[in-house]
Chains A and B, each alone.
Chain A
Amino acid sequence: MAGRSRSSAGRGDAPEPAVEPSAERDAAARLADHAAIDRLADELLPALSAKLAASSLGEIEVREGDWRIRLRRPSDGIAPSSRRSADRPSRTQPGHAGHGHAPAAVEGHRAAGSRDGTVPLAVGPGHPTDGDGSGTRGAARAVATSPAVGIFQPRPELRPGSRVRSGDRLGFVDVLGVRQEVVSPVDGIVGASLVEGGDAVEYGQELVRLEPSGSGS
């Protein structure tokens, strides 16, 4: 019965872009690259994200053609927290629709909002090519999550469409009379509220969607 390694490969490595072009290429290669990027973004990324969340690994890297993608768990010791495979309706789980506590930050050239890889964001695929824009897809999404278990109160003046900066207060969670601030993880525009003011929320629960500014253009 051998022990399993839980070590994180290459955490101390020199920073390197996770998705990088190899060298000069012709048009055919460029097309192949875009196909590879599409596949990385659409199929591999969600699958890898789920795999990383469910595993004990610190980091996962795969290669596809000349491209590679690497996902790294946040470095602050947050535990793996894959979603429940089967939520039961009887359970009090107000915040478990959609993907909640995304544990993996995506590294990439433009992984929107991943400041230092420790923000609990639901981050969309990064876009490695700036050149002709054909690799661009929908804007990355971000979600402000609950810092504690308690009662959520949004800032009343905030409406969908309000513009906020990273670190701006979106509301608070009342924990035994002590307010714990809910802050925006990104510069962007306030989207849908996922819970009502006065609702009980658990730690890590998704509260407010945000559309990061500067992405998707």
Chain B
Amino acid sequence: MFSKILIANRGEIALRILRACRVLGVGSVVAYSEADRESLPVQLADEAICIGPADARRSYLSAPAVISAALVTGSEAIHPGYGFLSEDEGFAEVVRAHGLTFIGPPADVLERFASKEATRGLLGGHGLPTIPGSNGMLRDDAHAVDEADRIGYPVLIKPSAGGGGKGMRMVRTRRELETALKVCRSEARAAFGDDSLYLEKWLEDNRHVEVQVAIDRFGHGVHLGERDCSVQRRHQKILEEAPTPALPPAARLDLAERALAAVTAAGYENVGTLEFLVDGHGDFYFIEINCRIQVEHPVTEMLSGVDLVETQIRIAAGEPLGFSQADIVMRGHAIEFRINAEDPAHEFRPSAGVIERFVAPGGPGVRLDSHAYAGYDVPPYYDSLLGKLIVWGPDRPTAIARSRVALDEMLIEGLPTNISIHEALLANETFLEGRWTTNLLDRVGSAAFLAAASRG
């Protein structure tokens, strides 16, 4: 095991990693930007070191700053959290070259899974169904039209690089396709410097379901079931739960087992998540892999009792997993609510400022992972996540009932938050019946959804 770990992230995940280090008895150093000097992980840290200014490119995204900080503090490993440098295979390689350990998959594994297109091919070859799509990148408009005819409309135009909805369009006709190709090319070029596009079959009413795996260096792996992340706003998850209400137990087990088998065969190492779309018939299609700890990992921790961050650190240190599939028992139902500093009254634009009052909820099955506190000045430079409320119950109705109480108790004053949208979801029949799909919120419109909930 490492003697000391540098935590190269901020916010709630820096605190989560700090806690895991303490449980393991491992020393830790929190690396922070000037804007995060007053944040909770920095205040609670055994050691903290300022690595740069507020601008993430010169702090959390700066490989030299992070590695230099690790070296001068005598750290042996770097935990990148999520976002920032967490899936950068170049960074992982430079970390290794400096005699340090990257806490995540080794650089060569990250590289193997770096391209979404190549990963779909790789895992498709190991038995995972993928969404029908174009054969490789689109050469020109004529090629795009031919491929769309073969796949069948509607189709989704997607850029090879990047994410976040840029360069993406769903089209229902050949005419729409021809117009949208130009727009997508220029958007993709502007956003990612790469205008190559491909087509995917558009699945009308789909669910986003992902499988958590953990595989050690010796190829011994387990799956920890799935999470349903269908509640999204503009491709951003806002609520996650497990198990998924979309699939019966046998289908969930089948999905998880096939995901684990494929990714193990492909040589994956450490914790990771395979994302799938599940259509209205219960058919699933692999879309991408996340080679890191995810925001929504606590949902799985609540069901399994496994500390995923601790597991991630132990695997990176070369330890065997220490448990097998038979040891894992998934109990009950858990829901995670992402509490964001966003203003629902203004298109959910990010908010910043001082938190005047902060009351954390409690009670059976309630967990709050948050770096916020009363008096904390939320900086405007980073993502708007203030924390995650995770609520467990022996079954979904109990988890929902406990969630209502917890959300009602939770108090954040001084800046707007998105708590109201969670309260609206818990009052919504489609959600309560477990029939929510990924594009529902955007189709209704978040503002209209909130307005309808307050009238109801």
Contacts and interface: CB of A to CB of B under 8 A. Distances in A.
A86 B219 CA distance: 47
A153 to B, nearest CB: 13
Contacts of A175: 64-65, 68
A92 B416 contact: no
A203 B53 contact: yes
A92 B415 contact: no
B306 interface: no
Contact of A6 (B49, B59, B98, B380): B380
A205 B51 CA distance: 10
Residue of B52, B71, B72, B380 with highest tally of chain A CB at under 10 A? B72
A151 interface: yes
Nearest to B411: A1
Interface in B1-52: 29, 33-35, 37-38, 43, 45-52
B46 A4 contact: no
Interface residues of B, number: 43
Contacts of B48: 91-93
B29 A204 contact: no
B45 A56 contact: no
Nearest to A76: B53
A202 interface: yes
Nearest to A201: B72
Interface in A46-93: 54-56, 77-82, 84, 90-93
Given A54-B377, A176-B98, A4 B353 contact: yes
Interface in B301-335: none
Contacts of B69: 149, 202
B162 interface: no
B35 A79 contact: yes
A149 B52 contact: yes
A9 to B, nearest CB: 15
A143 B47 CA distance: 24
B65 A55 contact: no
A75 to B, nearest CB: 13
Contacts of B68: 148-150, 175-176
Interface string B91-116: 00000001000000000000000000
A203 B46 contact: no
B73 A81 contact: no
Interface string B344-388: 000000011110000000000000000000000101110000000
A3 B415 contact: yes
B67 A176 contact: yes
Contacts of A205: 50
Contacts of A178: 64
A66 B36 CA distance: 38
B50 A149 contact: yes
A200 interface: yes
Nearest to B349: A3
A130 B231 CA distance: 66
A38 to B, nearest CB: 32
B206 interface: no
Contacts of A2: 416
A127 B59 CA distance: 37
B53 A91 contact: no
Interface of A: 1-6, 54-56, 77-82, 84, 90-93, 101, 148-151, 175-176, 178, 200-205
Interface of B: 29, 33-35, 37-38, 43, 45-55, 59, 64-65, 67-69, 71-73, 98, 343, 351-354, 377, 379-381, 412-417
**5 nearest A-B pairs in the assembled complex, by CB-CB distance:** A79-B35, A4-B353, A79-B54, A200-B72, A92-B47
Given A79-B54, A81-B35, A150-B72, 20 more contacts: A1-B413, A1-B416, A2-B416, A3-B343, A3-B351, A3-B353, A6-B380, A56-B352, A79-B53, A79-B379, A80-B379, A81-B34, A90-B46, A92-B73, A101-B34, A148-B52, A149-B65, A149-B68, A203-B59, A203-B65
